[in-house]
Amino acid sequence: MKETARGKCVATTPSEVMCGNGHVAKLLYASPVGVLEIRGCAEGVTFLGFSGKPPENVPEKQGSTWDGMERGGDSPLRKRGLLACLERCAQELDEYFDGTRRTFSVPLCLTGTPFQRRVWDVLRGIPYGETFSYQDVARAVGNERALRAVGGANNRNPVGILVPCHRVIGKDGRLVGYGGGLWRKEWLLAHERSHAEKVRP
């Protein structure tokens, strides 16, 4: 099993959910802020959220497995092209939590309204180690009065961390409104600030 500095991935499982022309596969990733559930299809990552406590079968050692096979193994799911985005996402998360990556390039396959997509595009443009207020985001999408709608789109972001909704804070600088818990938001912002001067784009 390949060891990594931070993450460990276990168990990809196919589901009956559809995305475009492909079934969705799921991956559990153990991170410094808890287990992340990542879902994806042949078109890209569809979901990244906090899964809670690790399952009992998560290995103690850092590393990654895919249905009991090392990352890159010749599993049936990989033959259908369903694991490529999950593998890439896991690798980029390894680098992010190691403090060596500031942006994500893994393909995304997101479903949302045109307004939500504009908000998510703005979130992806917030520089690593910096923050925007909800007013900043509303201004960036062209409607300074749309604070509630911006908050709703931020809350409905399906791929936390990859689309960094944790970088949106209150106008007065307070940490508000993070579905993963404010302690995680605080950790992610502190992590980025501590590495902002030394990580690659």
What sign results for the dihedral spanned by CA atoms 11, 13, 17, 18? positive
pTM: predicted TM-score of the whole model, two decimal places: 0.78
Model pLDDT for residues 31-74, shown as the tens digit of each residue: 999 889 999 988 899 999 997 654 444 444 333 444 433 444 44
pLDDT at 69: 37
> 147-200, pLDDT tens digit by residue?
999 999 999 999 999 999 999 999 888 888 788 889 999 999 999 999 987 755
Which amino acids are annotated catalytic? 165
| pLDDT of res. 79 | 41
d(C-alpha 182, C-alpha 50), whole Å? 13
What is the CATH number that goes with domain 114-195? Answer: 1.10.10.10
Q: Where are the domains of the chain?
A: 8-98, 114-195
